[in-house]
Structure 1
Amino acid sequence: MRRYSQIAIFLHWIIAALLAFQISVGWALEDLGARGFALFQLHKSIGITILVLTVARVAVRYGRPRPAPVEGGWQGMLAKAVHGGLYLFMLGAPLTGWALVSTAKVKVPTLIFGIIPLPHLPLPAGAGDPASAAHALLAWIGIALIVLHVAGALRHHALLRDGLIWRMMPARSPVLLLALPALIAAAFLLGRLILPASAPQAVAAPEKVAAVEEAEPVNIVAATDTDNAAGEADPAPSENATMVAPIGPPPSWTVQPGGSIAFSVGNGNDSIQGKFSSWTARITMDPDRPESADIDVEIDLASATVGDAYQDGMLAGDEFFGVAAHPRARFTAKGAEKTGANGYRAAGALTLKGVSKPQVIRFTLSGSGEKRKVSGSASIGRTLFGVGNGESSAGLDPKVAVDFRFDAQAK
Structure 2
Amino acid sequence: MPRYSLAAIILHWAIAALLAFQISVGWALEDLGARGFALYQLHKSVGIAILALTLLRIGIGYWKPRPAKLEGGWQGALASTVHGGLYAFMLGAPLTGWALVSTAKVKVPTLIFGIIPLPHLPLPASAHGLAEGGHSLIAWIGIALVLLHVAGALRHHLLMRDGLIWRMIPNRSTALLVGLPALILLGFALGRMILPAAAPVTAAEAPAAEEPAATAPEAPVNITEPDNSAVANETVAAAEEPIGPPPAWTVQPGGTIGFAVGNDGQTITGSFVKWTAAIVMDPDHPETADIQVSIDMASASVGDAYQDGMLPGDEFFAVAAHPTATFTAKGAEKTGANAYRASGRLSLKGVSKPQTISFTLSGDGATRKVSGTATIARAAFGVGNGDSSGSLAPNVAVTFAFTAKRKP
The count of residues paired between Structure 1 and Structure 2 equals: 272
> Residue type of the partner of 1:68?
A
1:147-226 → structure 2 map (5 Å cutoff): 147-204=147-204, 212=209, 216-217=212-213, 219-220=215-216, 225-226=218-219
- d(CA) in 2 for partners of 1:123, 1:177: 44
SS of aligned partner of 1:117 = strand
Map of 1:348 onto structure 2: 344
Map of 2:46 onto structure 1: 46
- Alpha-carbon deviation of 1:199? 2.6
> Residue type of the partner of 1:93?
A
**What per-residue deviation string (whole Å, max 9, x for no partner) do you get for residues 310-348 of structure 1?**
88983399x967xxxxxxx9999999xxxxxxxxxxx72
**What per-residue deviation string (whole Å, max 9, x for no partner) do you get for residues 127-147 of structure 1?**
000000000000010000000
- d(CA) in 2 for partners of 1:62, 1:2: 17
Map of 1:117 onto structure 2: 117
SS of aligned partner of 1:101 = helix
Alignment CA distance shift 1:348-1:150 (3 Å): same
Map of 2:248 onto structure 1: none
- Alpha-carbon deviation of 1:171? 1.2
Pairwise CA RMSD: 4.4
SS of aligned partner of 1:122 = coil
Map of 1:88 onto structure 2: 88
- d(CA) in 2 for partners of 1:228, 1:84: 55
- d(CA) in 2 for partners of 1:228, 1:159: 69
- d(CA) in 2 for partners of 1:219, 1:228: 18
- d(CA) in 1 for partners of 2:17, 2:114: 21
Map of 1:21 onto structure 2: 21
SS of aligned partner of 1:349 = strand
Map of 1:11 onto structure 2: 11
- d(CA) in 1 for partners of 2:374, 2:221: 12
Segments of structure 2 that go 5 or more residues without pairing to the other structure are 240-271, 275-305, 318-324, 332-342, 359-372, 384-408
Segments of structure 1 that go 5 or more residues without pairing to the other structure are 240-265, 269-309, 322-328, 336-346, 360-382, 389-411
> Residue type of the partner of 2:344?
G
Alignment CA distance shift 1:100-1:356 (3 Å): farther
Please report the TM-score for the alignment, with normalisation by the length of structure 1. 0.57
1:282-297 → structure 2 map (5 Å cutoff): none
- d(CA) in 1 for partners of 2:220, 2:215: 8
> Residue type of the partner of 1:73?
G
Is residue 203–residue 273 contact of structure 2 (8 Å, CA) maintained in 1?
Answer: no
- Alpha-carbon deviation of 1:202? 2.6
SS of aligned partner of 1:157 = helix
- d(CA) in 2 for partners of 1:125, 1:11: 34
Map of 1:105 onto structure 2: 105
- Alpha-carbon deviation of 1:63? 1.0
Is residue 107–residue 314 contact of structure 1 (8 Å, CA) maintained in 2?
Answer: no
- Alpha-carbon deviation of 1:157? 0.6
Map of 1:314 onto structure 2: 310
Is residue 24–residue 191 contact of structure 2 (8 Å, CA) maintained in 1?
Answer: yes
Please report the TM-score for the alignment, with normalisation by the length of structure 2. 0.58
Alignment CA distance shift 1:128-1:351 (3 Å): farther
> Residue type of the partner of 1:225?
E
SS of aligned partner of 2:97 = helix
- Alpha-carbon deviation of 1:203? 3.5
SS of aligned partner of 1:225 = coil
SS of aligned partner of 1:31 = coil
SS of aligned partner of 1:198 = coil
- Alpha-carbon deviation of 1:106? 2.0
**What per-residue deviation string (whole Å, max 9, x for no partner) do you get for residues 113-135 of structure 1?**
00000001010001000000000
Is residue 35–residue 309 contact of structure 2 (8 Å, CA) maintained in 1?
Answer: no
- d(CA) in 2 for partners of 1:147, 1:90: 14
- d(CA) in 2 for partners of 1:112, 1:227: 35
> Residue type of the partner of 2:218?
D
Is residue 218–residue 326 contact of structure 2 (8 Å, CA) maintained in 1?
Answer: no
